[in-house]
Amino acid sequence: MDVETIGTASLGDRSYLVHDGEVALVVDPQRDLDRVEEVAGRLGVRITHVAETHVHNDYVTGGLALARRHDAHYLVAAAEEVAYSRHPVRPGDSLAVGGLTLTAVATPGHTPHHLAYVVSLDGQQAVFSGGSLLYGSVGRTDLVSPDRTVELTYAQYHSARALAAQVGAAATLHPTHGFGSFCSSGPASGADASTIGEQLRTNHALTDPDEQHFVTSLIANLSAYPSYYSHMAPLNRLGPSAADVSVPSPLSPSEVLARLDAGEWVVDLRSRVAFAAGHLRGTVGFEYGTSFATYLGWTLPWNEPVTLLGSESDIRSAIRDLSRIGIDHPSTSFATPSAFADVVSYPIRSWDALAEATSPVVLDVRRPEEFASRHITGALNIPLYELLDRITEIPAGTVWVHCASGYRAGVAASLLHRAGRDVVHLNAEWSEIHGVPTT
């Protein structure tokens, strides 16, 4: 038995292809299917089964499209209400995937009908735990409904323990979440690999003997999650198509201006430093990188038209990333600011400059828990994902905006500048702050 990992660092998730040398099972595939099919082709295996551990809240699944493309069995919990035909799986069900044996285990908590899959061959065991047992922690339990969070947190505690008890200590563990995903909770680790035995020694869901303490502490530490999550499960229940990651014909500069005149979002993918130095008036800066899709989907209004400006390479990557969260077919342009007459800029400064400023308006766009741990005395905290709705709360004057690394502050500065505010982008590491009073 061999397990191939297909990571999606931009969302903090992993998909898996497990095979016996001839046939393969794919677990929790992302929507851009070419990555999965490349692995299967390289290994020379046939995809005969595709399994979902749960109806995902943080990305649009590729499971149905992959199963249909390969005429594979699509395994989804029988208790889930979905709008498509699938192979309904119930806890305890066991089926053959070539030489592999797959057994479904009830693991409610992250979602009510969550399943884990234990796959075995010749004494080897691999556990595909989805959003149940993660490396060091478990999946968060507040995504379904605030009214069910307590109930699901108790269930998560018992599910993690029941799953660990069902397999041997040598069983390898393969969670979907926990690698930077906001679907994880508590002290989730970004480790590359683990076993059930290791988790029995290190995972707080398995080492904390006090159920009530576990429940209370996990709920107390749940933080905000991306707003686009609310749209993922409904899309997944309908049965999404495969992603279209092709790059459309680029817009002309005049067409870009027309979109700006219509009030649409035109997103510049260049570095935050390049954007500050000169950009087309009315555009917003989301530097392309690992956090791009998460923060764009979390910050901009859902389902409004988006146009991407940048290099062909960045645009191609951005289209793929956005498709994973259900933002399809953005318009594109390879035009640079030099193609436009109305180019504007704003300054980037350091902590030293802030220390010398007189009565500055300081905006901290970190999350509330980051702000609570330590912040600049007198700073206003509006998390980036709330900025568009709360922009009128910011006092008059030039706004000095910062975060933990400069990335979120770059986005915030661009949104403020688009709204007509004078801004200074503090493109600095919070860990290196100096010369400024903090609380």
Range of the domain at 259: 253-344
Percent pLDDT > 90 in the chain is 97
* pTM of the entire predicted model: 0.95
Judge if 133 and 150 occupy the same domain: yes
Judge if 125 and 162 occupy the same domain: yes
Q: In what order do the strands lie in the sheet with 124-130?
A: 94-97, 100-106, 115-121, 124-130, 172-175
Judge if 354 and 340 occupy the same domain: no
Judge if 163 and 52 occupy the same domain: yes
Our measurement of the distance from residue 82's CA atom to the centroid of its chain's CA atoms, rounded to an integer in Å, reads 23
In this predicted structure, the answer to whether residue 357 has a pLDDT above a threshold of 80 is: yes
Angle at CA of residue 244, ends 239 and 250, nearest 5°? 145
Mean local confidence (pLDDT), 160-189: 92
Judge if 269 and 223 occupy the same domain: no
Question: Could you give the number of structural domains in the chain?
Answer: 3
Spatial separation of the C-alpha atoms in residues 384 and 162, rounded to whole Å = 39
Q: Count other Cβ atoms within 10 Å, centred on residue 434.
A: 11
Choose among 140, 148, 142, 147: nearest CA to 205. Answer: 140
Location of structure tokens 């940048």: 310
DSSP symbol at 247: P
For residue 337, what are its two tokens?
């600011």
User: Which SS3 state, helix, strand or coil, does residue 362 take?
Assistant: strand
- Domain contains 245: no
Band of pLDDT at residue 44, cut at 50, 70 and 90: very high
Mean local confidence (pLDDT), 33-54: 98
Three-class HEC string of 327-383: CCCCEEECCCHHHCCCEECCCEECHHHHHHCCCCEEEECCCHHHHHHCCECCCEECC
Three-class HEC string of 110-128: CCCCCEEEEEEECCEEEEE
Judge if 266 and 361 occupy the same domain: no
Neighbour-count burial for 310-326, b at 16+ CB within 10 Å, e otherwise: beeebbbbbbbbbbbbb
Judge if 81 and 210 occupy the same domain: yes
Q: Is the dihedral of CA 352, 358, 359, 362 positive or negative?
A: negative
Location of structure tokens 């507040």: 142
Domain ends where: 344, 368, 387? 344
Location of structure tokens 């530097």: 287
In this predicted structure, the answer to whether residue 241 has a pLDDT above a threshold of 70 is: yes
In this predicted structure, the answer to whether residue 188 has a pLDDT above a threshold of 90 is: no
DSSP letter for each residue of 91-159: TT-EEEETTEEEEEEE-TTSSTT-EEEEEEETTEEEEEEETSB-SSSBB-S-SS-GGGHHHHHHHHHHH
Mean local confidence (pLDDT), 27-38: 98
Angle at CA of residue 249, ends 245 and 250, nearest 5°? 105
Spatial separation of the C-alpha atoms in residues 301 and 113, rounded to whole Å = 30
pLDDT, tens digit (0-9, with 9 covering 90-100), for 281-302: 999 999 999 999 999 999 999 9
Band of pLDDT at residue 255, cut at 50, 70 and 90: very high
- Domain contains 243: no
- Domain contains 248: no
Domain ends where: 344, 366, 400? 344
- Domain contains 54: yes
pLDDT, tens digit (0-9, with 9 covering 90-100), for 196-210: 999 999 999 999 999
- Domain contains 290: yes
In this predicted structure, the answer to whether residue 189 has a pLDDT above a threshold of 70 is: no
The CATH number of residue 394's host domain is: 3.40.250.10
The CATH number of residue 185's host domain is: 3.60.15.10
- Domain contains 320: yes
Mean local confidence (pLDDT), 237-265: 97
Angle at CA of residue 7, ends 5 and 8, nearest 5°? 160
Judge if 305 and 220 occupy the same domain: no
- Domain contains 439: no
pLDDT at 184: 87
Judge if 332 and 378 occupy the same domain: no
Band of pLDDT at residue 186, cut at 50, 70 and 90: confident
DSSP symbol at 184: B
Mean local confidence (pLDDT), 412-427: 98
Judge if 257 and 140 occupy the same domain: no
Spatial separation of the C-alpha atoms in residues 315 and 98, rounded to whole Å = 40
Spatial separation of the C-alpha atoms in residues 419 and 400, rounded to whole Å = 15
Domain ends where: 194, 214, 238? 238
pLDDT, tens digit (0-9, with 9 covering 90-100), for 316-334: 999 999 999 999 999 999 9
- Domain contains 438: no
Rg (CA), the chain: 23
User: Which SS3 state, helix, strand or coil, does residue 342 take?
Assistant: coil
Mean local confidence (pLDDT), 216-220: 97
pLDDT at 185: 86
State the average pLDDT for the chain.
97
For residue 145, what are its two tokens?
């409904």
Band of pLDDT at residue 138, cut at 50, 70 and 90: very high
Judge if 387 and 357 occupy the same domain: yes
Judge if 90 and 181 occupy the same domain: yes
